[in-house]
Amino acid sequence: MKDNTQNIIFGVLVGLPAMLIIWVFALYFFGCGTNNTCTGIPQPDRTPVPTLIAATLPAPKVGVEAIAAKPRCRVAAVDLIGAWIGAGFPETETFEFKDVKDQTCTATFADDVQKLFLEANLWYDGAPACTTCHYADVAKATKNMDLSSYTGILAGSNRVDGKPKGDDLLGGGNWQNALLYQVLYAPDGKTEINRPAMPLGRPANVPASGPVIAAGIPPLPDN
Ligand code: HEC
């Protein structure tokens, strides 16, 4: 009886660790073989974990960029001002113009016309803005003319002593007669009235009707 208990205790103490060692060894041996490469046990087919996949579409644009990304029409600068004046030079309402593809596009003074007077580098690289010389302080501005605002443009030139009304620039709504047209339409840099083309200093290689710019919005496609 006593021997028996001793045998069981001995068996457990020695047998269990021995089995454990054999089991670990077997796992290692069958798993890794004898060359330690561990390819013996077939590996389960793993679903590949997707890594970052390169986006194929451009990221959607938001905010200011989204506005800039809207389709615009293209038109020569002088033709755009001409369409605005031909439509009765509206201050806030939209007006229509024909773009270079002969589509009827829609524009406004604030969004499309005004920048032709306010922006540098628009008529050509290095061009000063009209408002560099023709600015709001009409008493001092060149030709006593303010091209910085709608009212300034309508008030005209030669407003000596800052008087509210000067010489009409808009030909009374007839673009070809407008002084503005006469100084801006300049084939080979020369106006047809023998006065300097605007912006002052404009090189001869600027197209007669000025650069083609993005302006207005195209008509909705017919469905
Ligand atoms: C660097 C200064 C300067 C810039 C920039 C300039 N102008 Fe002039 N502008 C003048 C001068 C100087 C005259 C007078 C030219 C002359 O001797 O006939 C003039 C004359 C004019 C006249 C004739 C006014 C009148 O009653 O005789 C108009 C219209 C005009 N400019 C429009 C513009 C427009 C539009 C722009 C921008 C596209 C522009 N100017 C840019 C200097 C400038």
pLDDT recorded at residue 31? 67
Dump the DSSP string for 116-131: HHH-TTSSSTTPPPGG
pLDDT recorded at residue 35? 62
Percentages helix, strand, coil for the chain (3-state, rounded to 5) are 40, 10, 50
Q: Is the CB of 153 under 6 A from ligand 1?
A: no
Is the whole model's pTM more than 0.85, yes or no? Answer: no
Amino acid at 137: D
Q: Is the CB of 141 under 6 A from ligand 1?
A: no
Identify the residue whose C-alpha is closest to ligand 1 atom 36.
Answer: 130
Q: Give me the tens of pLDDT residue by residue for the chain, a chain 223 residues long.
A: 567 888 888 888 888 889 999 988 887 777 666 666 665 556 667 776 667 766 677 777 776 666 666 789 999 999 999 999 999 999 999 999 999 999 999 999 999 999 999 999 999 999 999 999 999 999 999 999 999 999 999 999 999 988 999 999 999 999 999 999 999 999 999 999 999 999 999 999 999 999 999 999 999 876 5
Residue 29: count of CB within 10 angstroms of its CB: 11
133 CA distance to ligand 1 centroid (A)? 7
Q: Is the CB of 128 under 6 A from ligand 1?
A: yes
78 CA distance to ligand 1 centroid (A)? 15
74 CA distance to ligand 1 centroid (A)? 25
- Tallying the residues shown for the chain, one arrives at 223
Q: Report the sign of the C-alpha dihedral through residues 150, 202, 106, 72, in that order.
A: negative
Identify the residue whose C-alpha is closest to ligand 1 atom 29.
Answer: 180
187 CA distance to ligand 1 centroid (A)? 17
Q: Is the CB of 123 under 6 A from ligand 1?
A: yes
User: Within 13 A of 138's CA, how many CA atoms are on the CB side?
Assistant: 22
User: Is 32 exposed, middle or buried, given 0-12, 13-18 or 19+ CB atoms closer than 10 A?
Assistant: middle
User: What is the C-alpha to C-alpha distance for residues 112 and 108, in angstroms, rounded to an integer?
Assistant: 6
Dump the DSSP string for 99-115: -TT--EEEE-IIIIITH
Q: Is the CB of 97 under 6 A from ligand 1?
A: no
88 CA distance to ligand 1 centroid (A)? 22
Q: Is the CB of 199 under 6 A from ligand 1?
A: yes
Q: Is the CB of 133 under 6 A from ligand 1?
A: yes
Nearest ligand 1 atom to alpha carbon 179 = 29
Q: Is the CB of 198 under 6 A from ligand 1?
A: yes
Q: Is the CB of 143 under 6 A from ligand 1?
A: yes
CA dihedral 150, 153, 154, 156 (to 10 degrees): 160
